[in-house]
Structure 1
Amino acid sequence: MADNSKAGASGLSILVVESDPAARSVLVDHLRRHGFGIVESEHGGPAIRAASAEPFDYLVVDIDWVGVSDGAALARWTRRNRPQAKVVLTSRTLLHLFPAGSTMAGLPLIRKPFSQEDLYRFLAPVAVMEPPGS
């Protein structure tokens, strides 16, 4: 678990949960450049503890790993316990099916490797971010 700042220049904080260290590093660097405060985690257990301790504006959660503290469990926990936080899911497969009415239904799901445009689509409505190429 790495805490890179509570709130960035944008005033917004993001909890990034990504099991792949290289993918997590690229994502965290990109978000930090746009002024977000970042806390990063490799797995859901530490991430749930972090989300319990402080509110985050966003959670960007990899849901492709499995176990007791998987990404889907973290997303469900967040929807129940921190409903004001916006959750963006990432996946390599996009084969996840969330039934209508479930706590996962309606959450944005971005296929990995994702582009900067994918991130802008979900984060830009509340952040001061310039679109790629501007």
Structure 2
Amino acid sequence: MDSDDAGASGLSILVVETDPAARIALLDHLRRRGFSVLESGHGGASIRAAYDRPFDYVVTDIDWSGVSDGSALARWVTANRPQTRVILTSKTLTHWFPADSTMASLPILRKPFRQEDLDRFLSPVAVMEMPGS
């Protein structure tokens, strides 16, 4: 898990992405926009991070598996940190959530996605390009 606390926008984001190359590109995009970023490549550390402190956003891949998964993280965050906006990502989009569940109302992006697609779900203040980037 890696942290960058110099978020110019003042907004924090937890990024959970299992693919290292996709994670690097995503982190670079978010840091250029001034987010304070905490990253993880798997579930256990990300759930602990969400438990330890609130985030403005959580962007999580839901295709990872194990004892905890992206869906478990998203469910925990929506139940315990209702002020946090959760954005799901998936390669397959074959996930089915009951219509009356919290998960069904969360935005989901199919990977690979354009950075502009992610920006639609982030605060307008946060998606402004930082000077010098």
TM norm. shorter chain > 0.5: yes
Q: Please say if residues 56 and 85 of structure 1, whose CA atoms lie closer than 8 Å, have aligned partners that are also in contact.
A: yes
Structure 1 runs (4+) greater than 4 angstroms displaced = none
SS in 2 for 1:105: helix
Q: Which amino acid aligns with 1:112?
A: K
Is residue 2:56 matched to residue 1:57? yes
The gaps in structure 2 that reach 5 residues or longer are none
The gaps in structure 1 that reach 5 residues or longer are none
Q: Which residue of 2 aligns with 1:9?
A: 8
Percentage of pairs with the same residue: 71
Q: Which amino acid aligns with 1:118?
A: D
Q: Please say if residues 55 and 84 of structure 2, whose CA atoms lie closer than 8 Å, have aligned partners that are also in contact.
A: yes
Cα offset for 1:67?
1.5
Cα offset for 1:4?
1.6
Q: How does 1:16-55 map to 2 (within 5 A)?
A: 16-55=15-54
TM superposition score normalised by structure 1: 0.91
Higher RCO structure (Cα 8 Å, ≥6 apart): 2
Q: Residues 65-114 of structure 1: CA distance to partner in whole angstroms, max 9, x if unpaired?
A: 11211100000000111111000000001111111121312100001011
Q: Tell me how large the CA RMSD over aligned residues is.
A: 1.3
SS in 2 for 1:3: strand
Aligned residue pairs: how many?
A: 129
